[in-house]
Amino acid sequence: MAKLSNKFFVILSLVWNRSLIVWPCLLLIALNAQDAPAKDLDGELDAGRIQSRERRMGPFKIEGKDFSVVIMELKYQGSSMGFDKTVESFSIVDQEGKVHFEKSFPIEYDDGGFTESWGMGANALDSRGLKGFRVESGVLKEIPPKDHPGAGLVLYYGFVPNAPSSGGSCQVFALKGEDMVPLFRPLTLNGKIYQLEPGSNPNGRRLFEYDTMRFGVRTRWFEVVVPLKVFDNLRVLPLHYHLPYSYPAFDVVVKRRPSEKDTFVRFFNEPKASSIPRHLIIKKETKVEFIFAYTRVSIKSGSNECVISIDDMPWLKVRIDGEEGFVRDAEDLLALGLRESG
């Protein structure tokens, strides 16, 4: 009888212990089930709040063929403006429906809407006026400018809304044989992508001189304007006629706020830290002109993107009351009325 009693208590103990394990597990499963729809884009809860739609840009006529950019957008019902829609993916298709390129964007959201919203735009690249050269009898001669309304396609994308000069990405596509292919990975920068000039048709844009696009790369003090030759593997195109030093020269954009008090600046005759500077007095009425930025520029290509990089502290060529020289250090930039940002 004692053995039977002991066996009964052992069984009862096992059942009790198992219930201690099972019930918390069931509770966790129930809690996770409540959270699951908020994490699953295809869940039943979000299926009614997040809706997908197709939008098209184009058609763009590239070398006689029509191409469109097909965008898949997501709309978050009930969220506030700026958090209510985002681009999920896009593809480049031809007039027969063949997909030449496609790309998806990461989607993040919470109960208030999309935490990061992607936007994009597209333009045809106009080849009117693009210069070429050929060799005839050992002499380099210029080819007359082309007159073709479509040479490529440029796409822009990034987070929206964004502040001016806060950065973004762009990518240029061109026909190689029968295929529309990217000439480089998405080019990303912290700064400004300069808008191209209008082309010969309403949705077209024309490249800048020497077949370039321009990018305003930000330093902490000013913006360096870097031209890139897009039909030549993103080759940096410095102002080659201003290369008396080891640094290439680039245009510069500076916002100046003169000081109310007199100060001075160390003025170098050449962009070398080893040279001996002279001191110039800077007054409120002193005329200051910013001519060029001298800096090394590189394009770092990763697996997913390309990034333009420059020196942290480029040399600035400055004209002060008619005298030309160079400055670089923070205290001299402050004396000239520049302010550090970012």
pLDDT digits (tens, 9 = 90+) for 251-283: 999 999 988 899 999 999 999 888 899 999 999
Domain boundary among 188, 217, 242: 188
Q: Are residues 60 and 167 part of one domain?
A: yes
Q: How is 186-244 classified by DSSP, letter by letter?
A: PEEESEEEPPPEE-SSTTEEE-BTTTEEEEEEE-SS-EEEEEEETTTTSEE---TTS-S
Residue 224 in domain: yes
Residue 27 in domain: no
Residue 96 in domain: yes
Identify the pLDDT of residue 112: 86
Q: Which domain holds residue 141?
A: 46-188
Taking only the tens place, the pLDDT of each residue in 137-148 is 655 555 555 545
Q: Are residues 341 and 214 part of one domain?
A: yes
Q: Are residues 214 and 122 part of one domain?
A: no
Task: Quote the number of domains for the chain.
Answer: 2
What number of other Cβ atoms are within 10 A of residue 302's Cβ? 9
pLDDT at 8 over 80: no
Residue 321 in domain: yes
Q: CA torsion 148→149→153→159, rounded to 10°?
A: 150
Whole-structure pTM value: 0.76
Q: Are residues 247 and 337 part of one domain?
A: yes
Identify the pLDDT of residue 33: 35
Residue 9 in domain: no
Residue 178 in domain: yes
Smallest CA-to-CA distance from 220 within 298, 294, 280, 310 is with 310
Residue 250 in domain: yes
Cα separation, 68 vs 87, in Å, equals: 16
